[in-house]
Amino acid sequence: MKKTRNFGLNIVLIVGFTAFVLWFTLKDNYREVLQILQQISPGWLIVILAIVLLYQWVIGWILTQLTRISNPHYRLRYGVVNALVASFFHGVTPSASGGQFAQVYVFKKQGVQLSDSASVLWMEFIVYQSVMIVTVFVLLLLRFHYFYAHYSQFFLLVLLGFLVNSLVIVGLWALVRFPRIYRWLSTRGLDLGCRLHLVKDPEKARAMLKDQLDRFGSETTKLKSHRPLIIRVVIANFVRLGLYYSIPFFCALALNLPIGPELFLDCVALASFVSMINAFIPIPGASGGTEATFVLMFSTVFGQLGATSAMILWRFVSYYLIMILGGLTFIWVKSRPAVVMSRKEDHE
């Protein structure tokens, strides 16, 4: 019952914040925005839907490739189902905190053991986080001067979001690679955290830190032993991010906004910056903040009316549509019997 109430509250928050932002952005020009939306190109809309679905398929392919390390009979459609369910739970939980728990449940239903599913999720996190950092870093370098001049009020948040995301993966690597850093963090660092009232139970925090580092070290070692596979997964993650970050550009084309191919890279960069800022919005689906940030950042490229119109289309296809598909997929998964799958060790 408690989980049901929390789930219902999250849905209310998503709808409430989204409705408020839509009202605020449309209250003065809703007729003009509706007129732009009515002129949507069916052909470009099909392209956008294809990109969104291909994005989910790529995530499913990545999960499939990593799962086949320990479960060679894992099917691609299982991975796509897992990706859709993960997207749904990422979208309805604060700070996207529920996605991996849902993935473990789906993996179990698909016949993947808990230890294997945890390993897959760790490897997927390591590769994705690393690729995302590299991608955003390149975009920052390419467009730094322009966007700093036009978005100085947001750029510090973008840089802070990039720094936080970078510290997660770089920090884990440094703790594993340099024992002195780990010793300092597990002793004086935790003591300092207690004094600042950031850490309540230092022994529990120390145990959790050790467990996370052990897992990180184990999975990075496993990744190194499957280099050809990891190269393919890295390339797939670049494609994954490229697809997602390009959606606003195609939304502009679908709405017949005055935009040319020379602005493609700008739109990709802005979409990545919106994602960086969303890391600080703990509301389920980053609702409210995502819409507002999108309009504010894209308004200099699309104009105020164009940015508002593109935001509505972008948010529907990239979030609400996937939420619907992911929710229906989860209901289907729950109704299906569990799968019994042979692991790699059973055939050796």
pLDDT at 4 over 50: no
Say yes or no to pLDDT of 182 above 60: no
Position 54 confidence tier, pLDDT thresholds 50, 70, 90: very high
What band does 79 get if pLDDT is binned at 50, 70 and 90? very high
Q: Specify the pLDDT at position 84.
A: 94
Instruction: Compute the mean pLDDT over every residue in the chain, rounded to the nearest whole number.
Output: 79
CB of 84 closer than 8 Å to CB of 53:
no
Are 25 and 237 spatial neighbours (Cβ–Cβ below 8 Å)?
no
Angle between helices 152-177 and 202-224 (to 10 degrees): 80
CA pair distance 177, 173, nearest whole angstrom: 6
If you average pLDDT over residues 136-156, what whole number do you get? Answer: 75
Residue 308 has pLDDT above 60, yes or no: yes
Mean predicted confidence (pLDDT) in 262-288: 77
Half-sphere exposure of 72 (CA within 13 A, CB side): 5
Q: Above pLDDT 70, what percent of the chain?
A: 68
Q: What is the model's pLDDT at position 185?
A: 58
Residue 176 confidence (pLDDT) above 90: no
Total residues belonging to the chain: 348
> What is the pLDDT averaged over residues 116-145?
86
**Cβ-proximal residues to 211 (8 Å cutoff; 6+ apart), any chain:** none
Instruction: Give the burial string for 210-247 (b: 16+ CB within 10 Å, else e).
Output: eeebeebeebbebbeeeeeebeebbebbebbbebbbbb
Q: Is the pTM of this model over 0.85?
A: no
Q: What is the mean pLDDT of residues 304-332?
A: 89
Confidence band of 206 (pLDDT split at 50, 70, 90): low
Q: Which has the minimum average pLDDT: 47-56, 326-335, 336-345? A: 336-345
Residues 13/287, Cβ–Cβ less than 8 Å? yes
Provide φ and ψ at 5, rounded to 5°: -65, -45
Q: Mean of the pLDDT values across residues 203-208? A: 69
- What's the confidence (pLDDT) of residue 70? 85
pLDDT at residue 343 is higher than 90: no
Weakest mean pLDDT among 91-105, 187-201, 252-266: 187-201
In the predicted structure, residue 205 carries a pLDDT above the cut 80: no
Most confident of the ranges 102-106, 163-167, 219-223, 333-337: 102-106
Tell me: pLDDT of 68 over 60: yes
